[in-house]
Amino acid sequence: METTSAVRSKIMRSVKRENTKPEIKVRQLLHSLGYRFRLHRKDLPGSPDIALPKYKTVIFVHGCFWHRHAGCKLASTPKSREAFWGAKFNANVERDARNYADLTSMGWNVIVVWQCELRDLAAVTSKLTDAIR
């Protein structure tokens, strides 16, 4: 199905930045495990989705499409305007790497939870508890 520029623009505007379903799922999981956290700390590089100051740990809940999860089928590339999308995705990946490096240099532990990983909550639970402690 071919989409017009106006339709594509409307779709892209509807993509949320904060409080996405995957992010809420991770927050519910952390809360059920007894962790307390802060959301979207603007004072930290990359404004992490979740910050656990007590453990000096931040969690980014990334969509596979926008943040280019390597080897994931959800990280497809649109057929139209491939040069635009390539540049956009490269900028996202570079910005993420810069933010992770900045946070690490500040002494924060960085965890990335991918959207596709949330299909297996037991594995995500294990990943989070191992990384936080």
- What pLDDT digit, counting tens, does each position of 99-117 carry? 999 999 999 999 999 999 9
Rounded to two decimals, what is the model's pTM?
A: 0.86
Mean pLDDT of 62-71: 92
CA distance 89 to 109: 24
pLDDT at 78 over 90: no
Radius of gyration (C-alpha) of the chain in whole angstroms: 16
**Residue linked to tokens 């939870």:** 113
* For the chain, domain boundaries: 17-132
Least confident of 99-103, 105-109, 123-127, 129-133: 129-133
Superfamily holding 17-132: VSR Endonuclease (3.40.960.10)
Query: Which residues lie across from 127 on neighbouring strands?
Result: none
- What pLDDT digit, counting tens, does each position of 38-52 carry? 999 999 999 999 999
